[in-house]
Structure 1
Amino acid sequence: MAKDRPAAQLDRELPDLPPELRWREWMRRIEAVLFASASPVPRDDLARVVGQGASVDLLVEDLAADLEGRAFEIAQVAGGWMFRTRATYAPAIRAAADVGDQLLDLSEFDVAVLAAIAYHQPITRDGLKDIFGKEISRDLIGRLHARGLIGTGPRSPRRGAPYTFVTTEQFLVAFGLESLRDLPDREQLVDAGVMGVPDQVVCSQQA
């Protein structure tokens, strides 16, 4: 959400409504904001559309309960909330909807490289080479960049210092993580089908 955009004139408190209807209207406002946003909306932004002192967390909980049985749900990812289609409907979406640009289409090795970056960021290409025992192609790095899953990290001030790579908010969104603290351990990676990831990839979880 845009942080510098001036707040529109909005009656946040809704004093003329009875408490039950006021709460329901706050829920609908949160629903509208989440529906309109292409990225996770943090708590502070959602607080702009409800009464002062109203619990955004409880409103989101009630909205999530209200959506039970629907094809989409509220996911808490990347420090905020967003709407996400329930996983059970993924086959139907692939069969009928034009979502080609949204599919990650990552190979097992792509995911392993992402895991290495996530656990060791900021990391250079040489660092990735040390983990995997071979050069990581610029093409692979470019694909991960193009999908918004990684970005350029801090670089040493010395002349000629190599670029480093870090994961992005889109990485958290794509894998349903609220923060890097939610990264899985090695056993979870294996269970998820990320096979053959070297031990070094998951030896030190970042906070």
Structure 2
Amino acid sequence: MTDDGERDPIKAAIEGLRRQAESAPRGDGGPPGVRLKVDNEVEGLRRLEALLFAAEEPLDIESLQARIGSGFDVPALLSGLQAKYAGAGVNLVEVAGKWRFQTAEDLQHLLQFRREEPKKLSQAALETLAIIAYHQPVTRAEIEDIRGVAVSKGTIDLLFEQKWVRLRGRRRSPGRPVTYGTTDAFLEYFGLPSIGDLPGVSDLKAAGLLSSRLPPNFDMPDPGRIPAIEEDLFEDEAEAANFHVDFMDEEDRGEE
């Protein structure tokens, strides 16, 4: 039983398998693998739980599978572990396609801790980050066209420093401009499972971040339908780094 009186779904499933194994005929006449399946599931849950509790950062399914070994159904184990901790003081959550334990939302007020906060973003940086998030993959010229002012190297550099923005590749258009997109660190910081979970217009209005009286021609991309514009992705980090250096070497154009 859980703390709130509900039956633990994982324990109930394991107990059912054990009863099946105990009532089955002994020897070769019984169903093969029942006890092995029970023990395997228990061991898989123990390994998964230990890894996620000890991890310093969220882990993806591939990393978990590699660490706990073959023979375990990691997605199924994650679902069971998530159900087990659903009403606990810590919950298992998916963020940016990765998994981590975190304090239950209704108990966060009990914790006091210190952490290094990212540098406060200027209005220009906030606008640039929002444009990249909702319009990615987006070029520097497209950012400037949407904002109506030039983008300074300091603004882009700050977003790179926070590791919220990355270089995606080159657009397949004249001039082969570089495109920008958000990172997993951006999703993790803002608690988003995926870029499609960015708030839409109605969510922003409800949160008081948008005026209820928007201009009739106001348009905002649907985060769940970010277009797949053709582009050539960078082959490696070194190539991406060179483009960043090239950008930083450009003359800083003032920004409003």
Tell me if TM exceeds 0.5: yes
Q: Structure 1 residue aligned with 2:149, among 128, 134, 139?
A: 134
Alignment check: 8 A CA contact 1:119 1:206 kept: yes
1:75 aligns with 2:90: no
1:28 to 30, 43, 46: 46
Match in the other structure for 1:165 = 180
Residues 65/159 of structure 1: CA separation in 2 closer, same or farther (3 Å cut): closer
% identical equivalent positions:
31
Larger radius of gyration: 2
Indicate yes or no: 2:141 matched with 1:121.
Answer: no
CA shift for structure 1 position 167: 0.5
Aligned position for 1:99 = 115
Alpha-carbon distance in structure 2 between the residues aligned to 1:195 and 1:140: 23
**Local SS of the residue matching 1:100:** coil
Residue number in structure 2 paired with 1:41: 59
Deviation at 1:186, TM superposition (A): 1.8
Secondary structure at the aligned position of 2:186 is classed as helix
Cα pair 1:46 1:56 within 8 Å, conserved: yes
Secondary structure of the structure 1 residue equivalent to 2:170: coil
Please state whether the residue corresponding to 1:154 is helix, strand or coil: strand
TM-score by length of 1: 0.69
**After superposition, where does 1:122-201 map in structure 2 within 5 Å?**
122-155=137-170, 162-195=177-210, 199-201=218-220
C-alpha contact (below 8 Å) 2:163/2:186 kept by paired residues: yes
* Mapped contact 2:124–2:155 kept (Cα < 8 A): no
What is the TM-score when the length of structure 2 is the normalising length? 0.58
Q: Distance in 1 between matches of 2:78 and 2:36?
A: 20
Higher relative contact order (Cα pairs below 8 Å, separated by 6+ residues): 1
Is there any run of 5+ residues in structure 1 with no aligned partner, and where? Answer: 1-14
Aligned to 1:62: 80
Distance 2:206 2:153 in 1: 29
CA RMSD of aligned residues (A): 3.5
Deviation at 1:116, TM superposition (A): 1.6
Cα deviations by residue, 1:62-86 (Å, 9 ceiling, x for unpaired): 2123324444322212222222333
Aligned partner of residue 169 in structure 2, secondary structure: coil
Matched, 1:206 2:226: yes
SS in 1 for 2:137: coil
What is the count of residue pairs matched by the alignment?
188
Instruction: State the distance in 1 between where 2:36 and 2:136 align.
Output: 51
Letter in 1 for 2:226: Q
Aligned 8 A contact 1:108 1:195 in 2 = no
Name the amino acid aligned to 2:158.
R
Are the counterparts in 2 of residues 116 and 201 from structure 1 also a CA contact under 8 Å? no
Q: Distance in 2 between matches of 1:158 and 1:202?
A: 22
Match of 1:86 in 2: 104
Would you identify which runs of 4 or more consecutive aligned residues in structure 1 move more than 6 Å?
A: 157-160
Cα 1:78–1:26, aligned 2, differ >3 Å: closer, same or farther?
Answer: same
List gaps (5 residues or longer) in structure 2.
1-32, 228-256
Q: Residues 35 and 147 (structure 1 numbering): CA distance in 2 closer, same or farther, change over 3 Å?
A: farther
